[in-house]
Structure 1
């Protein structure tokens, strides 16, 4: 008899870093004004980030080049109105100091043209690898325990590993969904609302298909 099961496991970890996306968006009736507003705000945001980087609280950060777009909003009578121009600058800042993250949020929240987005709570690469290895081991053990229960229900006392594969890669299986690390993010933060940058656990999960020969 063959017994094929899926083993799963997950673990929760306190984050060691956090990535904050910030978008500067300025809209005006002409391109020059929109660009000036966005550049002024962007300069202030960049300066605030640089201060935290100098203090060692920022692991890395990126600033995309300014982009400009335009559109014609519809008027009440159903005709295209005068063009509006929108300038965008996007940031991604990765913090290792969550106090500094909260400080930056306080500095830019409520600033005109600044939009704050969800914080992504993360592990460092070595931490993530260690956690992933550990849950993979637990997933295989989970599969063994599950198969042993099935075997016992069928009156079989022992099982032996025959095949282990990622989800969808078993020799006779079709494509499937592979277990992966899950990131839990803070609630959306808006520039006109109160907020708290509360770290949330990082959940690392793994799934595996295992086939056993029942004896």
Structure 2
């Protein structure tokens, strides 16, 4: 009896279904009160927008759980006393379903100098990611069976039989199997309408599995 161990792999792709963006309100002023006041007003507008997007169904969820204020001394000129500068910031994160609505929102909030738009993280819905993961795992097993069959045939062995299955890294440390999330983003804004056109590429869900087989030598090969 001969043991054959192979690694089966599979990749499933689907277009992005969610886009998560973080918008930060930031302002600097000579006093903490002035900085916080400006940020609080800007942040309130963003929170109102986030609630509205969730209510309309354009967004799946949102949260506002980051706020900070810092202070530093700024150099003005030779022989001049340093001035105090206070910087306040707060952030809102929104997970959108509607990419067109997201583009319009980015275009509108970009007009306010207190707002800073972070990068967009593209993702799949939880349901789609689970479905693709299941399909990828099934195909990874099929890939392992095919690989083992090829090795057995080349070595003059009979049909291999599964003796063990494990995911890479479950018994010993090793390099992680990445679940790739790749997307492209195209942005353009018309002069009259400051909407941002967003188009996400495909995202990938990978699966890998180690399968151990056993196979007997063919009678004529003994």
SS class of match (1:137): helix
Q: Counterpart in 2 of 1:53?
A: 54
Deviation at 1:74, TM superposition (A): 6.8
Q: CA deviation at 1:70?
A: 2.1
Aligned residues of 1:182 and 1:203 also touching (Cα < 8 A):
yes
Q: Give the Cα separation in 2 of the matches to 1:75 and 1:148.
A: 76
Give the C-alpha shift of residue 214 in structure 1: 2.4
Cα shift at 1:145: 1.6
Find the counterpart in structure 1 of residue 116 from structure 2.
Answer: 115
Deviation at 1:164, TM superposition (A): 0.5
Give the total of aligned pairs: 207
Contact 1:25 1:86 in 2 (8 A): yes
Deviation at 1:55, TM superposition (A): 2.0
In the TM superposition, residue 27 of structure 1 has moved relative to its aligned partner by 2.2
Compared CA separation, residues 134 and 178, structure 1 to 2 (3 A): farther
Alpha-carbon RMSD: 2.7
Structure 2, unaligned runs of 5 or more: 188-193, 217-222
Contact 2:107 2:195 in 1 (8 A): no
Aligned to 1:85: 86
Render the CA deviation track for 1:152-182: whole Å, top value 9, x for unaligned.
3322242111111011225xxx212343533
Q: Is the radius of gyration larger for structure 1 or structure 2?
A: 2
Is the contact between residue 117 and residue 188 of structure 1 (CA under 8 Å) also seen in structure 2?
no
Indicate if the aligned counterparts of 1:118 and 1:186 stay in contact, CA closer than 8 A: no
Aligned partners of 1:46, 1:132: CA distance in 2, in Å? 34
Q: Is the 8 A contact 1:49 1:104 kept in 2?
A: no
Question: Structure 1 residues 5-14 or 18-27, which shifts more?
Answer: 18-27
User: Using the alignment, how far apart are the partners of 1:97 and 1:47 within structure 2?
Assistant: 17
Shift of 1:188: 9.9
1:124 aligns with 2:125: yes
> What's the secondary structure of 1:20's corresponding residue?
strand
Listed as ranges, the matches of 1:1-215 within 5 Å are 1-72=2-73, 81-170=82-171, 174-187=172-185, 196-215=197-216
Runs of 4+ in 1 over 4 A off after TM superposition: 73-77, 185-189
Give the Cα–Cα distance (whole angstroms) in 2 for the partners of residues 82 and 2 of structure 1.
Answer: 75
In 1, Cα distance between the equivalents of 2:55 and 2:17? Answer: 19
* Mapped contact 1:118–1:185 kept (Cα < 8 A): no
TM-score (norm 1): 0.83
Q: CA deviation at 1:29?
A: 3.0
Instruction: Note the alpha carbon deviations across 1:48-77, whole angstroms, 9 max, x for none.
Output: 323323322121111125321223457898
* Distance in 2 between residues matched to 1:167 and 1:75, nearest whole Å: 59
